[in-house]
Chain A
Amino acid sequence: MPSLKDLRNRIASVKATQKITKAMQMVAAAKLRRAQTAAEAARPYAERMNKVLANVAKGVAGNPAAPRLLTGTGNDKTHLLVVFTAERGLCGAFNSSIARLARERIIALQAEGKTVKILCVGKKGYDVLKRQFEKQIVDLIELRSVRNIGFEHADEIGRRIISMFEAGEFDVCTIFYSRFRSVIAQIPTALQMIPAEIPEAAAGAADEAPYDYEPDEAEILASLLPRNLSMQVFRALLENAASEQGARMSAMDNATRNAGEMIKKQTTTYNRTRQAMITKELIEIISGAEAL
């Protein structure tokens, strides 16, 4: 049986841990609010961009000169998977669920005989994936030093993807990130970027008057598509940031509650042990007195 001192130490250590988890939960809650506002603020741009893109893409449909970012290379031999995860752990199943989705996709693609390349954004996903797919990982982009994700970070990643595409390093690009639904629900999502999936938002508008383009469709599309890619990356980063904080908040909430339970249990044991010792001493005194 542990001594009273041991028990006291143990309780103190659990209490200290509880304070840490509680603090982390509160920090995550504050960051979550900020991340959520940022994610919501980016939504209008993405929506409008989809609309414009749908309109322009309709204009070049069937045109053999359409940009390759839209139509793809015509092959689907080499796949680039861009996996967005967090830079830090202690956020429940957040990182592992994204990595799991990516891993399932990689295995499925490899079974079909395709070549797979992986670009990791975020340290944690890299750590998980490199165990199994070290050879396939092309690079790791770390955003650890970045405090507030801005469009320029996304743009950098977007340009990187495009320069790889133009160098013919892959045919199909898919990004993996976690969509933020609520604090308790983050949905790991795969989204195909190249060839671009054109939203059907403008369907049924075929009989409307056609647009004028300045300069022509092809040129607008050529500058619109890379920007759209960067925007999708930006959205993925923002959604991921919100999801990460949400996941961390609920994970830390659980941890705090567990610590509370543990403290309660330990305290009961401590009190029982103390009482048992007092009783024992009393019995010793009484039996000593009786023996006289």
Chain B
Amino acid sequence: MAAFPFELVSPEKLIFSGEVQQVVVPGTEGDFAVGAGHEKLISALRPGLIVVTDAAGQVSRLYVRGGFADVSGTGLTILAERAVPAAEMNDAAFDAEIKATEAEVAAATTDADRIRAAERLAQVGDARRAIAA
């Protein structure tokens, strides 16, 4: 499988930069896998798991909480609000995530916001189950 450049950045730092074979991205409209020569696409992300297959075929999983994926002619860039290796997302970390999201639901002022926050809450739960599995 052909390799392509992939970058994962969070506001605090550049988390990953290098050649990969495939990345599965949790888009808001569903997961999609990005390989070399993927069509140009900008997608919003939902809380979920990024599955990275690096050039050597090693698979690593990271949890992201929202952000954007930019598939351009030159590679894939993910702007994550927060990204943590799946192995580090233990129960305590998820509880904190769920609490933060619940606070968002409570703080939402419009219906659209509330629905969006509630969706996120469900997605965080899905991600938790996916990691546990």
A positions within 8 Å CB-CB of B: 38, 41-42, 44-45, 48-49, 51-52, 55-56, 150-151, 154, 208-215, 219-220, 223-224, 227, 231, 234
Contact = CB atoms under 8 A, between A and B. Distances in A.
Contact of B77 (A52, A56, A213): A52
B91 interface: no
Contact of A215 (B12, B14, B29): B29
A42 B12 contact: yes
B77 A214 contact: no
B27 interface: yes
Interface string B37-64: 0011111100000000000000000000
Contacts of B14: 41, 44-45
A45 B9 contact: yes
Contact of A220 (B11, B12, B42, B73): B42
Interface residues of B, number: 23
A210 B68 CA distance: 17
Contacts of A51: 70, 77
Contacts of B79: 45, 48-49, 52
B13 interface: yes
29 contacts: A41-B13, A42-B13, A44-B7, A44-B9, A45-B10, A45-B11, A48-B77, A49-B79, A51-B70, A51-B77, A52-B42, A52-B79, A151-B10, A151-B12, A209-B40, A211-B40, A211-B41, A211-B42, A212-B41, A214-B29, A214-B41, A214-B43, A214-B44, A215-B28, A215-B29, A215-B44, A220-B44, A220-B68, A234-B11
A97 to B, nearest CB: 27
B97 interface: no
A38 B14 CA distance: 11
B81 interface: yes
Contacts of B7: 44, 48
B52 to A, nearest CB: 17
A52 B11 CA distance: 14
B11 A55 contact: no
Pick the 3 closest A-B CB pairs, nearest first: A41-B13, A214-B43, A151-B11
Interface string B70-101: 10110001010100000000000000000000
Nearest to A219: B44
A172 B35 CA distance: 42
Chain B facing A: main interface SS = strand
A214 B43 CA distance: 5
Nearest to A149: B12
B64 to A, nearest CB: 13
Contacts of B28: 214-215
Contacts of A227: 81
A41 B39 CA distance: 29
Of B40, B41, B79, which is in contact with the most chain A CB atoms at under 10 Å from its CB? B79
Nearest to A154: B11
Contact of A52 (B27, B39, B70): B70
Given A150-B12, A223-B44, A227-B81, A55 B70 contact: yes
Nearest to A44: B14
A41 B70 contact: no
Nearest to A46: B11
Nearest to B78: A48
A55 B42 contact: yes
A212 B39 contact: yes
A214 B39 CA distance: 12
A41 B12 CA distance: 6
B79 to A, nearest CB: 6
A191 to B, nearest CB: 17
A46 to B, nearest CB: 8
A209 B70 CA distance: 14
